[in-house]
């Protein structure tokens, strides 16, 4: 899904394609995740999570993100809470340098299955079953 560019001048936000496996849901994020676009992330994930009972892992591939501001981080934390409430874990993979820095500076790495401290070169974490 590509969402139109908001009036504020921020870049478009994209979410997709979705890979569904019996115990995992994977979604690729791209563009800008900021105060003008976070509602779009919530819309997409609300729709996907409504039918995700029994999944153990929700993976957001962030390699396409160009911007993630404090509102974007707040949205990711809210998504994490919602995913956790379903009994699953949220993983952020493909973390670009700006997202790795944001997570490190705010001390929120552990909330997303990211080890504290220096991240892996690709910004990924190993997922169960070697899918990370």
Domain spans in the chain, listed from the N-terminal domain onward: 25-125
* Banded model confidence at residue 130, pLDDT cuts 50, 70, 90: low
Strand partners, 2: 14
Q: Which residues pair with 11 in a beta bridge?
A: none
pLDDT, tens digit, for every residue of 23-53?
A: 899 999 999 999 999 999 999 988 888 876 7
From 32, 39, 41, 33, select the one nearest 1 (Cα to Cα): 41
**CATH of region 25-125:** 3.30.750.24
86-118 core/surface letters (b: 16 or more CB in 10 A; e: else): bebbbbbbbbbeebbebbeeeebbebbbbeeee
> In the structure encoding, which two tokens stand for residue 39, read together?
């509602």
The string of pLDDT tens digits covering residues 64-94 is 999 999 999 999 999 999 999 888 999 999 9
For the ranges 4-13, 44-53, 95-104, the one whose mean pLDDT is highest: 95-104
């Amino acid at each position: 899904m590509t969402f139109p560019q908001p009036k504020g001048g921020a870049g478009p936000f994209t979410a997709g394609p979705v890979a569904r496996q019996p115990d995992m849901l994977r979604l690729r994020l791209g563009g800008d995740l900021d105060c003008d676009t976070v509602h779009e992330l919530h819309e997409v994930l609300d729709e996907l999570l409504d039918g995700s009972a029994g999944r153990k892992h929700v993976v957001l591939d962030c390699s396409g993100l160009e911007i993630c501001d404090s509102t974007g981080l707040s949205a990711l934390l809210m998504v994490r809470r919602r995913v956790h409430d379903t009994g699953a874990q949220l993983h952020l993979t493909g973390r670009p340098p700006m997202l790795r820095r944001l997570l490190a500076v705010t001390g929120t790495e552990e909330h997303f299955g990211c080890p504290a401290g220096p991240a892996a070169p690709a910004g990924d974490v190993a997922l169960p079953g070697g899918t990370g």
